[in-house]
Structure 1
Amino acid sequence: MQATVGDEIRVHGRTVGSAERRGEILEVRGTDGRPPYWVRFTDGHERLIYPGPDCEVEGHRD
């Protein structure tokens, strides 16, 4: 997985009925766009994540 600052990350719910979470990648701490990523989620919380198979990165729109 590779990302750049400003990309959106979506974390799909792991169980039936779990909500999907969306956030903006604020910082890429790995090399060549690789994780970990510092993310601000739509609820305002920020945290460092190492995305798993339940995550997708979408390029930011200018």
Structure 2
Amino acid sequence: MNATVGDRLHVHGNVVGQPDKQGEIIEVRGPDGGPPYLVRFEDGHEALCYPGPDAVIEPRESQEFLER
């Protein structure tokens, strides 16, 4: 899993009824774009994340295309 600053981290809820979490990657601390990532979530809190198999990185380029 590789990311760059500005990409979005989307973590799927792993329990029925648990909402997904989304946030913007504001810092990449691993080598070559790997984890851990410092993420600012939608509610404003920031956390250091090591994403698991329930997470997806959404590249910034695809978001710009969707906003048009």
- Place the TM-score, normalised by the shorter chain, in its bin: over 0.9
TM superposition outliers: structure 1 runs of 4+ over 6 Å: none
Secondary structure of the 2:35 match is coil
TM-score normalised according to structure 1 size: 0.96
**Across the two proteins, how many residue pairs are aligned to each other?**
62
2:37 alignment counterpart? 37
Cα shift at 1:3:
0.2
Secondary structure of the 1:19 match is coil
Cα shift at 1:31:
0.4
TM-score normalised according to structure 2 size: 0.88
2:18 alignment counterpart? 18
Secondary structure of the 2:38 match is strand
Unpaired runs of 5+ residues, structure 2, are none
Give the greater-gyration-radius structure (CA): 2
Secondary structure of the 2:23 match is strand
The 2-side partners of 1:14 and 1:3 are apart by: 22
RMSD: 0.8
Unpaired runs of 5+ residues, structure 1, are none
> Over residues 5-62 of structure 1, what are the superposed CA-to-partner deviations in whole Å (9 max), with x where a residue is unaligned?
0000001001111000000000000000000000000000001000000100000144
The 1-side partners of 2:60 and 2:22 are apart by: 13
Which structure: greater helix fraction? 2
